[in-house]
Amino acid sequence: MQNRLIAALTSRSGLGAMLLFAAAAVTFSEVSRLRLGTPASMGPGYFPALLGGLFVLFGVMLLAEGWRNPGQRVNFGRLRPVIYLLGAIILFGMLYPVLGGGIAIAVLVTVSAMAEPGRSWQEIALLVVTVIVMIWVIFVLALGLQLTMLPPWIRT
């Protein structure tokens, strides 16, 4: 029973169902702040709530299909690059406001470069310096954009 459930959830239909359930959760979360109204007098949240319900309905249908026919499993392949790249983007978004662009870009480039095995630390360090200098020259000097490249405690 447990193997069949795992097979159903990792099938193409099962993963599609999980995606639809996630979309429904986001939709219902956003709709919760809006007035629904009635079918005769629809509020701004009526149609999005209906759409969220359709996401759930189609998700259940896909999950049932995955349960009946779990043969089409998805090959996830190598997840290391995806995890490293998503982590690099998340770290950049968290570090930029706190530490400035220079450090955030250095972390972004370093973690992204680690997605590909076999890179040397010297190569990564050269890449970090090159990218930071190029961004500073192009965006700050040439285009005059006000990017905060330094941490707040150094800027003042």
141 falls within a domain? yes
- What residue type is assigned to position 3 of the chain? N
25 falls within a domain? yes
* 100 and 131 part of one domain: yes
C-alpha 142, offset from chain centre: 31
Element (H, E) at 27: helix 12-31
> How many structural domains comprise the chain?
2
97 falls within a domain? yes
* Closest listed residue to residue 104, CA positions, set 141, 138, 151: 151
Identify the pLDDT of residue 75: 67
Identify the pLDDT of residue 76: 67
The parent domain of residue 26 ranges over: 2-68
User: Which conformational region is residue 146 in: left (phi greater than 0), alpha (psi within -120 to 50 degrees), or beta?
Assistant: beta
- Which stretches of the chain score pLDDT less than 50? none
56 falls within a domain? yes
Identify the pLDDT of residue 59: 92
Q: Model's pTM, two decimal places?
A: 0.55
Residue found under tokens 């490249």: 149
